[in-house]
Amino acid sequence: MEQLSATPYEERLTAPKIWWGISLLVGIGLALTFLPFGTLPLLGGLVGGTAVAAVAASSYGSVRIRVVGGALVAGEAKVPVAALGETHVLDLEEARAWRTHKADTRAFMLLRAYIPTAVRIEVTDPTDPTPYLYLSTRHPEELAEAVRRARAAAS
């Protein structure tokens, strides 16, 4: 018998693999900066620079999107699914438009430039000034379906 997951949808917006290579390049650059001071500072710059850059890449890529317990949790935002309206899956062109010229300054935007697709979810709560949520996601259809299922289960 298949066991049902307690979390219908969960995604971590991890940083792209190239960022880890860039972290190493930052460490190498810092090591070269400390080269005139000797071997120990060079190694300290390599290790320290790489570590700091890797921590920055990891923390930026540690944001999660979850649909759990009747709520959509996206980064620091937690919105009950009952307060959500229609969900729009955005392809590359639509996602670009909604994060540039169509964007509303009042919207909650969980934006990651390295993820080209997104969903836009309308907020129907009349007391909330946020018109919609813009969420970068690698799996927009799955996220939209999870929100629809959670909304249907809540009503």
The DSSP secondary structure of 33-61, one letter per residue, reads HHGGG-HHHHHHHHHHHHHHHHHHHHHHT
Per-residue pLDDT reduced to its tens digit, 81-137: 999 999 999 999 999 999 999 999 999 999 998 899 999 999 999 999 999 999 999
Distance CA 65, CA 45 (A): 35
Confidence label for 7 from pLDDT (cuts 50, 70 and 90): low
Say what the pLDDT of residue 146 is. Answer: 94
pTM for the full model? 0.81
Q: Which has the higher per-residue pLDDT, 146 or 113? A: 146
Say what the pLDDT of residue 66 is. Answer: 95
Q: Is the predicted pLDDT of residue 5 greater than 60, yes or no? A: no
- Other CB atoms within 10 A of residue 64 CB: 13
Q: Where are the alpha helices (DSSP H) in the chain?
A: 17-34, 39-60, 92-99, 140-154
Say what the pLDDT of residue 6 is. Answer: 52
Q: Is the predicted pLDDT of residue 44 greater than 60, yes or no? A: yes
Say what the pLDDT of residue 86 is. Answer: 94
